[in-house]
Amino acid sequence: MVSVTDDVSTQTTDRSNWAGNLEYRAVDLLRPTTLEEVREAVTSGGPVRALGSRHCFNDIADTTGTHLSLDRFEPVDASTLVVDTDASGATTVTVSGGARYGDLATALFEHGYAVPNLASLPHISVAGAIATATHGSGVTNQGLGGAVVALEIVTGTGEVLTVRRGDTASTGPSTSTAPSDITAPSDHTVPFDAAVVHLGALGVVTRVTLAVEPTFEVRQDVFVDLPWESFERDVDAVLGAAYSVSVFTRWRDDAMDQVWLKSRVDELESRPGGALALGEDFHGARRSPVPLHPLPGISAESCTEQLGVAGPAHERLAHFRMAFTPSNGDELQSEYLVPRQHAVAAVAAVRALRDRIVPLLQVTEIRTVAADGFWLSPSGAQDAVGIHFTWLQRQDEVEALLPVIEEALAPFDARPHWGKLFTTDQARLAELYPRLAEFRELAARLDPQGVFRNDYLRRVLG
């Protein structure tokens, strides 16, 4: 197993999160390459936390013990990637929890397949993304966890569990790829809907099986200056206008800044008017003749191709290209999800705070996520709309403002994004997530010694 101390290629940045607002307290970073090494690390006696691509803004991934990175555990390789199709025609792929979506999507494309959706950035790991209910956009698209079909988890006692979609109260035996001396315990019952949005609390997710679909083409059209009245009057038409829609606003008085429409070419072709249905005007917004970055004053070079040029889904569904720094880098983020029927009222409640928000804000993004039924998913119970904030890196001031935003959104039962900054306390989280206590019990059962427990989990689970 490679440890940080004997790996000269390790960058010091591994010791902080991507945004640089958090120095991890971990005393070691291990990079296991086999399941046995993961088990060894987990049972070695100290606190352990799996580390994904470090893109969370809070301390969810932190530990005072050992960080385990799966970046060398079965790296994605198109030549060895196996796409399985079962008797019913369902197609899946199994990858390391440490696989980055961008690498996976590129390899899948070589096989003629695609993941159904991506977040704004392709740089994040699969297990780290589903841990926090990371999502893209689309009224019919669930978060990225919606594509999960099975998870292989090394629990706090070093046991290897496989949890499959459809499991309600019991798990099957360990996967056949596990070494033969590893057997799944018979007394563990792990409902699939509890395990996908896992907060890193249930164990190290070593392998994830994802549903994939034949590759499809997407075109991206960007419009500017959407009148507020259009958003308020036609919210469902605006947010449902394409496979994935993002509305960006800096809360200017006159209009919302940008609307990004990511349209599946096959869907557009079946619409009356085909691609021509996407004209120069979108609910009063104008088509941008040039590619745009969501943040003002930043080159669109780092963004996926726009101007309506069709291309492979994985090169359009994320906002940012794999080879570039996503977003700004010098930033913080928060996001709150509310039931979609409250979209207009919730946005209005935030807009009323614009004078306090704007001085700290780079941009807000509004997106939709379809309900997925997962216990800890902010869009678990209902279709949701996400109101996201990319902040300036002024953490004290941002954290002083968050309770004000949370209070304004409280009537809509706003659920915070698990991987971004929030101040919602445990009592409120327990009200928002009726199964939080059950999840805590499940985590305690799979991790009786509290190997994966960190300050974040103590705070949110209680």
**Would you say 255 or 293 has its CB closer to ligand FAD?**
293
**Would you say 100 or 228 has its CB closer to ligand FAD?**
100
Q: Nearest approach, Cβ of 381 to ligand FAD (angstroms)?
A: 17
Reference 62, options 109, 110, 112, 16; nearest CA is 16
Residues that bind ligand FAD (CB under 6 A): 18, 49-56, 60-61, 70, 97-98, 119-121, 124-125, 127-129, 131-132, 134-135, 199-200, 204-205, 326-327, 333, 417, 419
Residue partners of 455: CB distance under 8 A and separation at least 6? 59, 62
Q: Nearest approach, Cβ of 132 to ligand FAD (angstroms)?
A: 4
Within a 10 A sphere around the Cβ of 107, how many other Cβ atoms?
Answer: 21
Sign for the CA dihedral angle at 293, 400, 419, 145 comes to negative
**Would you say 211 or 295 has its CB closer to ligand FAD?**
295
**Would you say 255 or 322 has its CB closer to ligand FAD?**
322
Q: Nearest approach, Cβ of 112 to ligand FAD (angstroms)?
A: 26
**Would you say 235 or 421 has its CB closer to ligand FAD?**
421
If you compute the radius of gyration of the chain from its CA atoms, what whole number of angstroms results? 21
Element (H, E) at 407: helix 395-409
Q: Nearest approach, Cβ of 154 to ligand FAD (angstroms)?
A: 8
Q: Nearest approach, Cβ of 47 to ligand FAD (angstroms)?
A: 11
Q: Six-digit token pair at 296?
A: 């003002």
Q: Nearest approach, Cβ of 431 to ligand FAD (angstroms)?
A: 22
Reference 94, options 76, 68, 119; nearest CA is 76
d(CA 170, CA 158): 18
**Would you say 333 or 362 has its CB closer to ligand FAD?**
333
Q: Nearest approach, Cβ of 300 to ligand FAD (angstroms)?
A: 15
Q: Identify the burial level of 214 via C-beta atoms within 10 angstroms of its C-beta, where 0-12 means exposed, 13-18 middle and 19 or more buried.
A: exposed
Cβ–Cβ under 8 Å, residues 32 and 38: yes
Q: Nearest approach, Cβ of 72 to ligand FAD (angstroms)?
A: 12
Region of 198 on the Ramachandran plot (φ > 0 left; ψ -120 to 50 alpha; else beta): alpha
Please give the C-alpha separations between residue 366 and each of 47, 294, 370, 417, in angstroms, as whole numbers: 37, 12, 14, 13
**Would you say 123 or 268 has its CB closer to ligand FAD?**
123
**Would you say 61 or 178 has its CB closer to ligand FAD?**
61
Burial letters for 141-167: b for 16+ Cβ neighbours within 10 Å, e otherwise?
bbbbbbbbbbbbbbbbbbbbbbbbeeb
